[in-house]
A = this chain, B = another copy of it.
């Protein structure tokens, strides 16, 4: 057995399935690029059968990230499929343009899932596994199979199903603890049992996929690796349904920091971790708590850059990793009023953003406006501007003007001017319970797309009171548009996240809300024929 742990990132599939983490195609592509730079071995790019949009996003990733133009090693691009012909065909349609495509299909094997969800007998599950793995294999040489809810499956039956999958051509067998129920010793024993008892397992890679419902996703993944698994399914920041998945950064840094325990390596460039974490947090609107391991704001006892060589030994009294190792940089004022376009381009390239000329133009304009208002501009400020300016959903309504008055008198009032999809300007004024409420009510009066605000968060990008504020919102349409979780098959109301950044948090709030509304309009197909009930350029 080799000692290389394949990192299978499912931020774009299992991660994106978490409530409100919906990303636009442009955001997904940028996340995939970031994952490739991070050195991820396999990118699960989505669940192509979910919708034409999901299929298209996977295709773009397969084409662009799956075939790097710079001659670097391309990651495997993987698409998820339930064990059905239709799903498998869609998955293949999504990934086939990648240099290294993979189809990942799954079927539940626990008694409770077979009985209540699948309504299939164990014998039927065995047969379906054989057929569908073979069908996937007829398209693609790289096929992964997951026995869903393996953590609660009868071991003997599980071995039979896995042996069937291997015979039918599966090359990776992924063992999910779907409900986050197992304890590390149990999960390690499950993996050992599989390796010892499944005929033909030597020719396959065994993979682990753990959930964090009891806070044990990382411990379980590591227990599986110690028992012989050689692929770990993970997400950036541990996002995912419910309490999320194993966090990429935790498993990678545990293997790295405790190399003498595991004797395993990964292909991850750990110095890219902080950037990937920030990007995913921005695009999904899933915040990272300050005490999150590795990527939380407080995770390191000392700031980056303060480690003189002579102090190193002493620092280790309270620190087992250096912040630099995971790419946490010193917050420096890197640019200012007098920095030019070339300097900005260079800095963005250093940060890992490949911008074309048009994108750079837009960004430079925002940069100059910011430099007029804020003393020094940091890398974090630049990243907020990129997110706000370049990776927004296709825009139907854009903010053209905003004016707000509020305070302790208790009559917060907002006037909003939007440019509509017809390029005309619309204006409305509204009174609210606060300035954000007033702004949102004015926008609602123009856009007329009833929704419920589920979440609203603002935080400052950098230190200092003149910092940029980032706003993330999450809304749910009132028309009851629903989405289906790939694995649970559960339909949930679909929610949409939006992001905005500005030194004025009320302006950022307006942008974030518009971004979420625009995403919702695309998804519900309302974008083409938006009835604009609002008065054109006049207040009512």
Contact = CB atoms under 8 A, between A and B. Distances in A.
A424 B254 CA distance: 57
Contacts of A441: 465
Interface string A389-415: 000000000011111111111101001
Copies of this chain, complex-wide, total: 2
12 contacts: A179-B317, A179-B320, A180-B320, A184-B219, A213-B321, A240-B291, A318-B490, A399-B408, A401-B407, A404-B435, A432-B465, A457-B457
Contact of A178 (B226, B318, B435): B318
A468 to B, nearest CB: 9
Interface stretch (A130-138, A293-301, A524-532): A293-301
Given A184-B184, A215-B294, A318-B488, A373 B410 contact: yes
Contact of A294 (B184, B243, B293, B294): B243
Given A116-B317, A238-B291, A435-B504, 11 more contacts: A180-B320, A183-B258, A184-B219, A184-B222, A214-B294, A241-B298, A404-B435, A406-B507, A433-B504, A435-B435, A453-B467
Given A250-B214, A465-B441, A434 B505 contact: yes
Interface in A138-154: 149
Contact of A183 (B222, B240, B405, B459): B222
Given A313-B116, A407-B401, A254 B215 contact: yes
A181 B399 CA distance: 49
A9 B112 CA distance: 37
A437 interface: yes
Given A261-B186, A455-B460, A456-B459, A507 B408 contact: yes
Contacts of A69: none
A289 interface: yes
A317 B112 contact: yes
A244 interface: yes
A453 B464 contact: yes
Interface in A448-490: 452-460, 463-467, 469, 488, 490
A27 interface: no
Given A261-B186, A488-B301, A292 B216 contact: no
Given A407-B507, A506-B407, A433 B373 contact: yes
A contact residues, range: 35 or more
Contacts of A534: none
Contacts of A373: 410, 433
Contacts of A222: 183-184, 216
Interface of A: 18-20, 112-113, 116-117, 149, 178-181, 183-186, 212-216, 218-219, 222-223, 226, 237-244, 247, 250, 253-254, 257-258, 261, 286-294, 296-301, 313-314, 316-321, 373-374, 399-410, 412, 415, 432-437, 440-441, 452-460, 463-467, 469, 488, 490, 502-507
Contact of A407 (B113, B214, B504): B504
Contact of A319 (B179, B184, B250): B179
Most buried by B among A293, A294, A463: A293
Contacts of A437: 465-466, 503
Contacts of A183: 222, 254, 258, 261
A254 B458 contact: no
Contacts of A296: 243
